Structure 1
Amino acid sequence: MATPQRQEWPFPPGAECLAAWKDAISLLVDCSIPEDADPALFDFHGCAWQLPGAFLHVNGGSAMAMSRTQQVIDERPTPHMVLFMVLEGRVTSNYDGLIQEHEPGDIVVVDYSLPYESQTSGFEAIALTFDKASVPVEFQSNTHGLVLTANDPTGAMLGGQIRALAEHIDGLSVHQGQVIVEGILNFAAAAFATPATRERRDKRFLFQRASSAARQGLSDPDFGPDELVAALGVSRSKLFRLFEPHGGVQRWMLAERLRASLQSILRSTPDHKISAIARNHGFRSEAHFSRAFHKRYQISPSSVRTLSRDSLRMATYDTLLRRGDGNGGAIVEAWLAAARA
């Protein structure tokens, strides 16, 4: 009985491992490690099994980033998709404009015919790669970036199947392994096709578009819900439902303006007037800006500028930004709360 051939990653952590890792996935993605990372400590490890219609890979590693841009897609086309299940760590990915952060238990669909970027500070995962044409038609389109979590019953079921395959594949025949893979993919197609799953995905993607459009208009004091409705081509009621968990469109936009202005104050020179920063972020007057700023942060803009002259505090801020534990707005607000305390 022929069994799937197990292939172990043969390189220990270090520069040779980094070079081999880059070469191994160069056909799929451009890859790198953080600028401040030591190549001598780079780690990638795992094992893989080749089946007639799929490739199973159990792997993990240290901090890394991967990118499949449209240019890469055009230059290095591939007909593959992958079910990627996070076991440990966190992975932040951008699926053609839809940004998501994945935690242990998440299972995501990646379609290599569409742009994709990811970065992690370290992870363990199982990846099941397969030919796009081998799965049901409804699974071949509009699934890029769809996620099932461990809290979702279908996600828990699918995750259990993927884990079981990785655990027992050494004891299966090639035929048995392939039959199980086909069963997993058929179940995944049904799981990801549920209206609730697609609704969550569509809502996240619309919010991402809305956020991007709103941020581009934040410097214009006249940019508000009506302009956002026109930019997105959705109804006013749909837009308001989308931002309801964030306190409404106006409140969300005010918060974004204040976060952006806070970052500008920290990075501005002493001769850059607070009034100019206020205007650049959509506030009609410095007085209006100062009142809104103080209400949110319990500190005045000028006092924040004083804090920014403290080299130790700013060194802490720079460290937080390099570490990248969240978006820039969340980081600067967390830093300010700590600095005030």
Structure 2
Amino acid sequence: MRKPDSTFDTATAQRVEWPFPRGVECFAAWKSALSLLVDCSIPENADPSLFDFHGCSWQLPGAFVHVNGGSAMAMSRTQQVIDDRPTQHMVLYMVLEGQVTSNYDGLIQEHVPGDIVAVDYSLPYESQTSGYEGIALTFDKASAPAGLQNNAHGLVLTASEDAGAMLGAQIKALVKHIEGLSIHQSQVTVDGILRFAVAAFGAPTTRQRRDKRFLFQRASSTARQKLSDPDFGPNELAAVLGVSRSNLFRLFEPHGGVQRWMLAERLRVSLQSILRSAPDHKIAAIARNHGFRSEAHFSRAFQKRYQISPSSVRALAKDSMRMATYETLLKQGNGNGGAVVEGWLASVRA
């Protein structure tokens, strides 16, 4: 804990408001301010005149408390940014409203209200949101408790966990009462929050959950690269990952097992390929390109999953209005093309 400073015994932290209302000026100021730390952008089809970023902050001796929110945006701290704009800060970030999709050095996670995540700015990080509200508690990594300095990047606590609910209550209470506390009291509160975070994030179940998510990311990424190989299956994937077949099955158990997951992925990308390919591109060729040994095998599996034949989907692709709807949905789908195309097909069939 930091030693008390008599100059901070009675003074309170000064609230600083973000001074720009919604619009182009706000967008330019936001990009300029964040450029010190991350590359940032808004969706290509977004109107800068409607851009919104708002919030307030309090500077403490060893921390920066920031309550903020805004419209759709993306932020990226790649290795190039880290090299060009180094910083040793970390942050505890709590989502209050909206949803944030983040990539922590290869580990992709969806954050919803109540989630609290640790972000280490010395490691790659990307995020995007369609709109959010949140609280950021930023601090110097070197002065943080040791448990936050090592392998904490991307660790998450949820509101459904007792430790997550407790940590969230502490963070929100700090914001609620910070202007009634002295600077010293506020800093002591932050120090206590960080110590509790160490205990919460250090729980074996929290780190096991993160390790499991990271392994699934590796497994799914590897498998997607091999979908065109009909001989690549659970045994081959387990060998590449260096895990047992039973551990691999448990990893994919929520998806019905490895084979069922791989079949579903092959069918999703095949469906996209049918819609994207030229009319004279043979269904048999699409089947082979996505790991099916025969057109008959592909057609049976496709019909079972989608209740429609591949040739009938090819016919739907000739309808310009339906395809225009599909393209619009795809642009709004944040890159999740598989889910979009399946949702589109279900709506067309209905």
Shorter-chain TM-score tier: over 0.9
Aligned counterpart in structure 2 of residue 336 of structure 1, from 331, 338, 345: 345
Q: Which moved more, 1:276-285 or 1:313-322?
A: 313-322
Aligned counterpart in structure 2 of residue 100 of structure 1, from 95, 99, 109: 109
Which residue matches 1:229?
A: 238
CA deviation map 1:145-183 (0-9, x unaligned): 111111000000000000011111111111000000000
* Other structure's SS at 2:21 match: coil
Which residue matches 1:291?
A: 300
Which residue matches 2:5?
A: none
**What is the CA–CA distance in structure 2 between the aligned matches of 1:145 and 1:163, rounded to whole Å?**
21
**What is the CA–CA distance in structure 1 between the aligned matches of 2:71 and 2:82, rounded to whole Å?**
26
* Other structure's SS at 1:143 match: coil
8 Å CA contact retained: 1:325, 1:331:
no
Matches within 5 A, 1:179-258: 179-258=188-267
Note the C-alpha offset of 1:73: 0.6
Which residue matches 2:274?
A: 265
Note the C-alpha offset of 1:313: 1.4
2:152 is equivalent to residue 143 of structure 1: yes
8 Å CA contact retained: 1:219, 1:281:
yes
Note the C-alpha offset of 1:326: 7.5
Which residue matches 2:62?
A: 53
2:85 is equivalent to residue 68 of structure 1: no
Which residue matches 1:28?
A: 37
**What is the CA–CA distance in structure 2 between the aligned matches of 1:321 and 1:129, rounded to whole Å?**
36
CA deviation map 1:25-61 (0-9, x unaligned): 1121000000000011111000000000000000000
8 Å CA contact retained: 1:3, 1:174:
yes
Note the C-alpha offset of 1:220: 0.5
Note the C-alpha offset of 1:325: 6.1
2:44 is equivalent to residue 42 of structure 1: no
**What is the CA–CA distance in structure 2 between the aligned matches of 1:205 and 1:30, rounded to whole Å?**
24
8 Å CA contact retained: 1:44, 1:60:
yes
**What is the CA–CA distance in structure 2 between the aligned matches of 1:170 and 1:316, rounded to whole Å?**
51
**What is the CA–CA distance in structure 2 between the aligned matches of 1:175 and 1:329, rounded to whole Å?**
52
Note the C-alpha offset of 1:6: 0.8
* Other structure's SS at 2:134 match: strand
- The one-letter code of the counterpart of 2:32 is D
**5+ residue gaps in structure 2?**
1-9
2:316 is equivalent to residue 307 of structure 1: yes
**What is the CA–CA distance in structure 2 between the aligned matches of 1:149 and 1:307, rounded to whole Å?**
43
CA deviation map 1:231-256 (0-9, x unaligned): 11112221111111211111110000
**What is the CA–CA distance in structure 1 between the aligned matches of 2:173 and 2:88, rounded to whole Å?**
26
Note the C-alpha offset of 1:134: 1.7
| Identity fraction in percent | 80
Note the C-alpha offset of 1:138: 2.0
Moved over 2 A (4+): none
8 Å CA contact retained: 1:219, 1:282:
yes
Which residue matches 2:99?
A: 90
- The one-letter code of the counterpart of 2:255 is H
* Other structure's SS at 2:285 match: helix
2:336 is equivalent to residue 327 of structure 1: yes
Aligned counterpart in structure 1 of residue 18 of structure 2, from 9, 30, 35: 9
Note the C-alpha offset of 1:327: 2.2
- The one-letter code of the counterpart of 2:137 is L
**What is the CA–CA distance in structure 2 between the aligned matches of 1:143 and 1:304, rounded to whole Å?**
46
**What is the CA–CA distance in structure 1 between the aligned matches of 2:146 and 2:23, rounded to whole Å?**
42
**What is the CA–CA distance in structure 2 between the aligned matches of 1:95 and 1:157, rounded to whole Å?**
24
**5+ residue gaps in structure 1?**
none
Which residue matches 2:161?
A: 152
**What is the CA–CA distance in structure 2 between the aligned matches of 1:39 and 1:304, rounded to whole Å?**
38
* Other structure's SS at 1:90 match: strand
8 Å CA contact retained: 1:88, 1:103:
yes
**What is the CA–CA distance in structure 2 between the aligned matches of 1:42 and 1:294, rounded to whole Å?**
44
**What is the CA–CA distance in structure 2 between the aligned matches of 1:310 and 1:148, rounded to whole Å?**
46
2:136 is equivalent to residue 131 of structure 1: no
Which residue matches 2:286?
A: 277
Could you tell me the TM-score, scaled by structure 1's length? 0.98
Note the C-alpha offset of 1:137: 1.4
**What is the CA–CA distance in structure 2 between the aligned matches of 1:102 and 1:328, rounded to whole Å?**
20
**What is the CA–CA distance in structure 2 between the aligned matches of 1:235 and 1:138, rounded to whole Å?**
30
**What is the CA–CA distance in structure 1 between the aligned matches of 2:349 and 2:138, rounded to whole Å?**
49
Which residue matches 2:6?
A: none
CA deviation map 1:221-278 (0-9, x unaligned): 1111121112111122211111112111111100000001001111111011111110
